[in-house]
Amino acid sequence: MLLSTTTDAARDFIQIGHSDPHAVHAELNDGLLAAQAVVSPKYLYDALGSKLFEAICELPEYYPTRTEAAIMERHLADIARTAGHGVTLIDLGAGNCAKAARLFPALQPLQYVPVDISVDFLRDAVSRLRQQVPHIKMVGIGMDFSASLDLPDAVKHERRLFFYPGSSIGNFAPEQAATLLRRIRDACGPDGGLLIGVDLLKDRQTLDAAYDDALGVTAAFNLNLLRHLNCLVGADFDLRDWRHRGYFNEACGRVEMHLEARREAHVSWRGGRRRFLPGERIHTESSYKYTRHGFLQLLERSGFGRTQTWTDERGWFMVCHARVQ
Ligand code: AVJ
């Protein structure tokens, strides 16, 4: 799994397994050639994609980030009491690190370990945060944790608290989510825990609007994936041939994002090509929504227990703390 590791001089940023273009190429090639074309949502996050996601979080329609932040702010003292002080805070999909930074005053982590696939974006975020909060030890890790959670020795083993906010767990189908949660559990150690944010099932209008906003930022975020593919596999996607689709699929309990061909589109990339018919789609993201009970069951199946939950008045979003069982 560990393909290559480069460490910055100061050992404060570690990049793992970044130079496996073959695996990336094979995964993308297979997805693009599948009967129902599919690309993993992790490819939404190149440098521009990470910025577009930050912009999504500012949209009035996109409630998850704001709702989660309000829950965390309101219950911060209780959450910190439950999760414990002086922990090793491991932030999965840290992005700009803003969510974890808001926990620092209450949690006082001994070490902060942001992990993200968007390496350059994370590197900038950590160096900025390090200047603002010099008294907390930080080691940034550039890696794809959906492939492996093999953390380097620089990450302390004591009292690990995995932080997985934003309902990013929703990007995985329940079976895969259980696999990832089990992997987190195994990386926790016996005294470890998980603080996770989960988006809850709600009415269709709210969900549809959150993933297809009036300003078109989510559309740009989704279409940017094609630019990233052009770069990753030398594809020649013409963005003007494609449109964004984002909507709640109630039968599957998830929001889906697709890119839909506006007209016939011929696309080539290194080692492959495909003709897309008008209306044909590439599935780019699923965002599963849970009931409280459904998610607690998933945690239990994954080896977590003694769970505590916090939610907002509308019951739109849930923050959970769970311990290794
Ligand atoms: C960061 C994966 C939680 O699924 O809501 C936002 C990503 N996609 N708008 C989500 C996203 C479209 C987001 N996650």
Strands laid side by side in the 254-261 sheet: 242-249, 254-261, 281-288
How does pLDDT run across 203-226, given as a tens digit for each residue? Answer: 999 999 999 999 999 999 999 999
Instruction: Output the CA angle 8-13-19, nearest 5 degrees.
Output: 80
Ligand 1 pocket: which of 206, 287, 317 to mutate (most atoms within 8 A of CB): 287
pLDDT tens digits, residue range 79-132?
A: 999 999 999 999 999 999 999 999 999 999 999 999 998 888 899 999 999 999
> Which helix (H) or strand (E) covers residue 185, if one does?
helix 174-188
Query: 5-7 and 137-138: which strand pairing?
Result: unpaired
- Taking 70 as the threshold, does the pLDDT of residue 304 lie above it? yes
- CA-angle at 315, arms to 309 and 321, nearest 5°: 15
Q: Please state the rounded mean pLDDT for residues 254-281.
A: 98
Q: Kindly tell me if the per-residue pLDDT of 313 is higher than 90.
A: yes
pLDDT number for residue 2: 46
Average pLDDT value for the chain:
94
Span from the CA of 218 to the centroid of ligand 1 (angstroms): 9
Q: What is the pLDDT of residue 1?
A: 42
What does residue 15 show for φ and ψ, rounded to 5 degrees? -110, 130
**What per-residue confidence (pLDDT) applies to 178?**
97
Predicted confidence (pLDDT) at residue 12 exceeds the cutoff of 90: no
* Ligand 1 atom showing the smallest separation from residue 166 Cα: 3
Give the Cα separation of 36 and 313 in Å (integer). Answer: 39
pLDDT at 5: 54
Return the ligand 1 atom nearest residue 167 CA: 3
Confidence at residue 3, expressed as pLDDT on a 0 to 100 scale: 47
The set of protein residues with a Cβ atom below 6 angstroms from ligand 1 is 56, 64, 166-168, 170-171, 211, 218, 257, 285, 287
pLDDT at 39: 98
**Strands annotated E in the chain:** 5-7, 13-16, 88-92, 111-116, 137-138, 140-142, 160-164, 193-199, 242-249, 254-261, 265-269, 272-276, 281-288, 304-311, 317-324
pLDDT over 60 at 181, yes or no: yes
Which residue is closest in CA terms to ligand 1's atom 12?
211
User: Hunting for tokens 């989960």 — which residue is that?
Assistant: 198
In sequence order, the 6+-apart residues with CB closer than 8 A to the CB of 103 are 72, 76, 79, 80, 89, 109, 163
- Could you report the per-residue pLDDT of 61-76, keeping only the tens digit for each? 999 999 999 999 999 9
| pLDDT of 8 over the 90 cut | no
- The two tokens of residue 2 are 């560990």
Gap between the Cα atoms of 310 and 146, Å rounded: 26
